[in-house]
Structure 1
Amino acid sequence: MSKVTVVTGGTRGIGAAISKGLKEAGYTVAATFAGNVEKAEAFKAETGIHVYQWDVSDAEACAAGLAKVEAELGPVEILVNNAGITKDGMFHKMSFDQWRAVLSTNLDSMFTMTKPVIDGMRNRGFGRIINISSINGQKGQMGQTNYSAAKAGVIGFTKALAQENAFKGITVNCICPGYIDTDMVAAVPEDVLKGIIKGIPVGRLGKAEEIAALVVFLAGEQAGFFTGAVHTINGGQYIANG
């Protein structure tokens, strides 16, 4: 039986590419989504991937949702924490609601999604946890103190959890994408987008499938010695050592 994989925010953008890549690699994939039922159902019809709706910032909803996935598909052996939102604004104008919403979805979800599956992974002696951070969690970004703080927290969470669980056969890794050609980036004004691309040494936006390819590798048996690592995929825009 193929390993069960949960991808949060798995029906759109980078998450959709990850879900598709894992299914093509032979995994049983459950893709979660927050609110857009119409697009999620269209994604399910197109790909045949199982979709589940819940709010990743809600601990009770995550526990219930993951229990449903395991009852219907089997134990979760691979978790991709991809879901994230932005509520940008300069810090001096930012409301606490803007701050809290981004931290809840982007960072609290590391706990709410991972806690319900970690004991099962430990008991079985195998697990793969792959967390999607961001270039802006590494270098910061003006107008994104909330997002940058959350994504930097994802990196710290990854490194600590990796150390706690390595001896149990569980790897925990982090991917920090740069600017990827998704609907969100496509909505950026053309002149701004040109400036962004000018700052990327390879001269183009990344592809969601490039992120998915790394996720598929890290989910595999051959990646057992990769853990606690921060993998940058940004076309050379920001070169970091972790």
Structure 2
Amino acid sequence: MNVSLNGKKILIVGASGILGDCLLRRLLEEGAIVGGTYYSQSVKTLTEDLVPYDHQLILQHVDASDPISIQKGLTRLVKQLGTIDSYIYNSGICEDALLPFMSFKKWKHVMSVNLDGAFLAGRIVSKEMIRLKKGKILHIASYKGVFGSYGQANYSASKAGMIALTKTMAKELGQFGISVNALCPGFMITNLNRNPEKKRERAIQDSVLSSISEPLEVVDFIIYLLSDKIFNLSGQVLHLDSRM
């Protein structure tokens, strides 16, 4: 089956990190024109081997915990892209602690990036998509937003909120031809993991296939979702996982 994103304009909030970087590169390889935000990496580090894709790539530094940074950065990217076919919110952080010992600062910081950022970015992008009467929105949520996670009340609650935001946006934006879905990848080794090997072993134990996800598998699934092969899919929480 031929799946093509050639010429499609795609905005990624959170284009650095293991999953974001993998997604950015694959979209460029598929011929998409990509506007991406980054925070912790430098532009030089992010683009040092992406010179062949200069004509397809626009990058903007954005702090997803700062409403002003989101407003300015995404407004600039939307203007530079001209139109948006698809938008992905992939920004996320963890600051773990057991609930009785979790500071409000840790709670609020995770919420501000994972949930407030998704709201603020979605508000900007959805206005542009409403104008165009089309578009696909994908939130990178989490298994933990459905089932909870020991020591991660803030992270789990933020992803549960993202899932509710996804369903509400789907209901509100469907009339304009805009689909909104949430994707919960399986466990992956990323820069958010603490004690990754211990968590990997637990994920494998909980998996009926005794496996974990690989970033490229998740990215290939996303590419299919963003392609013209799928139309009648919105308001869904998609588990790319085998944990039960």
Name which of 87, 100, 106 aligns with 1:92: 100
RMSD (CA atoms): 1.8
Name which of 61, 68, 76 aligns with 1:53: 61
- 150-159 or 18-27, which moves further after superposition? 18-27
Residues of 2 paired with 1:77 and 1:192: CA distance?
A: 36
C-alpha contact (below 8 Å) 1:103/1:150 kept by paired residues: yes
Name which of 206, 211, 227 aligns with 2:213: 206
State how many pairs are aligned.
234
How high is the sequence identity, in percent, across the aligned residues?
28
Counterpart amino acid of 2:14?
Answer: G
Distance 1:142 1:124, change over 3 A: same
Residues of 1 paired with 2:58 and 2:189: CA distance?
A: 25
Counterpart amino acid of 2:217?
Answer: E
Unmatched segments (≥5 aa) in structure 1: none
Residues of 2 paired with 1:74 and 1:95: CA distance?
A: 42
Counterpart amino acid of 1:195?
Answer: R
- 79-88 or 219-228, which moves further after superposition? 219-228
Q: Runs ≥4 in structure 1, deviation > 4 angstroms?
A: none
Aligned to 2:231: 224
Aligned to 1:7: 12
- 218-227 or 188-197, which moves further after superposition? 188-197
Aligned to 1:177: 185
Residues of 1 paired with 2:197 and 2:222: CA distance?
A: 30
Residues of 2 paired with 1:59 and 1:191: CA distance?
A: 36
Residues of 2 paired with 1:229 and 1:123: CA distance?
A: 24
Aligned to 2:29: 24
- 193-202 or 215-224, which moves further after superposition? 193-202
Residues of 2 paired with 1:83 and 1:31: CA distance?
A: 11
Could you tell me how far 1:184 is from its partner in structure 2? 3.9
* 1:133-158 deviation per Cα after TM superposition (whole angstroms, max 9, x unaligned): 00100100010000000000111111
C-alpha contact (below 8 Å) 2:170/2:179 kept by paired residues: yes
Unmatched segments (≥5 aa) in structure 2: 1-5
